[in-house]
Amino acid sequence: MNLILASASPRRSAILTQLGIPFRIEPSHVAEDGNGRSPLDWPRLFAEEKAVDVSLSHPREFVLGFDTLVFLDGKPLGKPKDKHDALRMLSALSGRSHQVISGVAVARGGKIFSSGAEKTEVFFRSLDPSEIAEYIDSGEPMDKAGAYAIQGKGARFVESIQGCYYNVVGLPVTRTLKMLKNLEEIENG
Partners of residue 58 on adjacent β-strands: none
Q: Is 67 a catalytic residue?
A: yes
CA atoms of 111 and 179, how far apart (whole Å): 15
Output phi, psi for 176, to 5 deg: -65, -45
Q: Quick one: three-class SS letters along 83-150?
A: HHHHHHHHHHHCCCEEEEEEEEEEEECCEEEEEEEEEEEEEECCCCHHHHHHHHHHCHHHHCHHHCCC
Selecting among 67, 73, 128, 143, the annotated active-site residue is: 67
CB 121 within 8 A of CB 146: no
What H or E segment, with its residue span, contains residue 186? Answer: helix 173-187
Residues known to be catalytic: 67
